[in-house]
Amino acid sequence: MNPEQIKDLIQKATDAEQVILSGEGCNLDAIVVSSAFEGKSPIQRQRMVYSAVDELLKSGGLHALALKTFTLEQWNAQERG
């Protein structure tokens, strides 16, 4: 599966305003910005994202996904800071 397809899976699962993927092959880094993360703990946010790619991780289509998750408010504050 290519990074664009992975990006689409994550966007759909989290209603993300933005998904930024980097890395190569089966090892990717992701920044996920979603209003759906409001009021959720970091672990709850990660579970939301990992649920989107669970089958890829189990099948070996994706070996590693490093995550940074932000609410839209957190992302905007970081961008201005």
Give per-residue pLDDT as tens, 56-79.
999 998 999 999 999 999 999 987
- Residue of higher predicted confidence among 1 and 42: 42
Structural domains of the chain ordered from first start: 3-80 (3.30.300.90)
Would you say residue 81 has pLDDT above 70?
A: no
Whole-model pTM over 0.85: yes
| pLDDT confidence bin for 80, thresholds 50/70/90 | confident
Any residues with CB less than 8 A from the CB of 12 and at least 6 apart, and which? Answer: 52
CA 79 – CA 81 distance, rounded (Å):
6
pLDDT by residue (tens digit) across 9-58? Answer: 999 999 999 999 999 888 999 999 999 999 999 999 999 999 999 999 99
